[in-house]
Amino acid sequence: MRFISAAECLTVVSHPLAFEAVEAAFIAVASAQSTLFPVLIGHGSETSSRFTVKSATQSVTTPLTGLKIGTYWPNNSAKGLPNHNSYIMLLNDETGELETVLEGGKVNAYRTAAADAVAAKYLARPDATRLAIFGAGHQAFYEVDALLEILPIAHVYIVNRDQTRAESLRQHLLNKGIDARLSDAETACKAADIIVTATGSRSPLFQAEWVKPGTHVASMGSDAQGKQELPAELFNQARLFADLPEQSRTIGEFQHLATQFAAKDTPVNAMGDVILGKTPGRSNRDEITVFDSSGIALQDLFIAAAIVNALDSF
């Protein structure tokens, strides 16, 4: 069994590597040669500490079978440890033996941001320059950096309750030559061409009427029952997309479709079908598009395989 540490992963992982892996995973999800298994959600002895187990198999490309354990221990920051971590396990598809384990905390951040960026490539207006980011934690840095590689973003509006964290993200962006400012939610949404939410919220972060025509909206933080970042009223005004529609309706943002504002049977399009040309992406400049990323195991398996291949090619 091969163990690849976080430090070793960081020698080869990059946004472009993650983009390629995630796009391939989106395509694989759309194939009958892939299976994603139900997500297991558990917690530690302190119920605020939780873990998820996501698993999958696919034979669209070289067969991949395995799982990811993602952990969130909120008291770790007081101990000088990261609150989030993850471990990706690749099994030998012929024998079931545990072949490779990757310590993937930072890898997971690249993978999540890549899902956002790849979806934006197909769904956002190509001339989008103004981004509103809700959240200024660890993941928000990766989300913004990934989008900067895909779109000509020049202005970023940061919405976050913790002003110290928000200022840290602002300085990060200023150092990249980006016009970044701290903002309230309404101002940010009304200015934005793209709105990205990367929080653990359980209630909407903004109002639907603040979203202007032509905006692309991405929810990156809703990955459990009860979580909610977007106003359900927005779903009636937009076309909806997800990494895995059926999972999004269960633990993702679109679990809130069954409300007085949006019908449960509202169509949710798979990003893999968009990439393959089976379903249209953005159809006009004024269309509002909403992408929900609840996180799928195939993305983890594809990026893990890409890291293994990159390390072996040294």
**Residue appearing with tokens 């692309």:** 216
Interatomic CA distance for residues 80 and 102, integer angstroms: 22
Q: 106 catalytic, yes or no? A: no
Interatomic CA distance for residues 308 and 194, integer angstroms: 33
Question: What is the number of other CB atoms lying within 10 angstroms of the CB of residue 171?
Answer: 10
- Both tokens of residue 30? 């759309």
* Strand 238-242 relative to strand 268-270, pairing: parallel
**Residue appearing with tokens 């590597």:** 17
Which of 54, 68, 106, 227 does the annotation list as catalytic?
A: 68
Q: Which residues are catalytic?
A: 68
